[in-house]
Amino acid sequence: MITPHTPAGTVDAQDPAHTPDRDLTLERGFVASLRWLVSEGDARGVRRIAVELRALREALTTLDETRLARDEHARRASELDRELHAAIAMLGPGTTVNGSGGLVQRLIRLRERLAEDTMSREQLAVERDAWRAMCSLLTQTRAGMQDLLERTERDHRRTSAEVAVLRERVAELTAMHDDTAAQTALARQQLVDLREQLTRWSGTVERALGELLQGARELAD
């Protein structure tokens, strides 16, 4: 279901050929939203904005027609009210029509009904202004959401770049760890080889010392 969007603020009676600046401002806001979504390549959002823009234009047309009808009705009611005042002043309180009652009383009742109708029109205007204010708030909220989306997109790109740098750093650290592990294994193997070589050398030295001691004893005897 499409929620109609209306311009912000109260619109006074104007020439139907003239479009209020605030209406143009709202329409520019929707067009700006459409262009932004086109630049971002969001086809679904573009279709949504296009539908809301059509709803906005229909709502503006309906408001213009309602405003024109209201102004025409108010003009006719004002003219009729002036005519009633003039008729009451001319006829006086004792005038009757075919003995069926006072014409003045009938005119007074008609005037009261006109006053009630005027109050109803004023209430309708108040409700319309509230509707327009609500739609203005929705438009401002839309602009705020667009700003938030743009900031979020910038933060996302910056975070993605930082994550890429961190991944490269982790890859470098992993390679360094692998190299260190390989070097550690090589060093351990070298230590084992050295221990074995030292063990062999120790045995050779002990045998040589034993032979020397044996030779010395033989010479002493």
Confidence (pLDDT) at 1: 35
What are the structural domain ranges in the chain? 21-153
Which residues of the chain fall below pLDDT 70?
1-53, 55, 84, 87-104, 106, 221
- Contact assessment for residue 34 and residue 49, using Cβ atoms and an 8 Å cutoff: yes
Confidence (pLDDT) at 209: 85
Output the DSSP codes for 94-160.
T-BSTTSSBHHHHHHHHHHHHHHHHHHHHHHHHHHHHHHHHHHHHHHHHHHHHHHHHHHHHHHHHHH
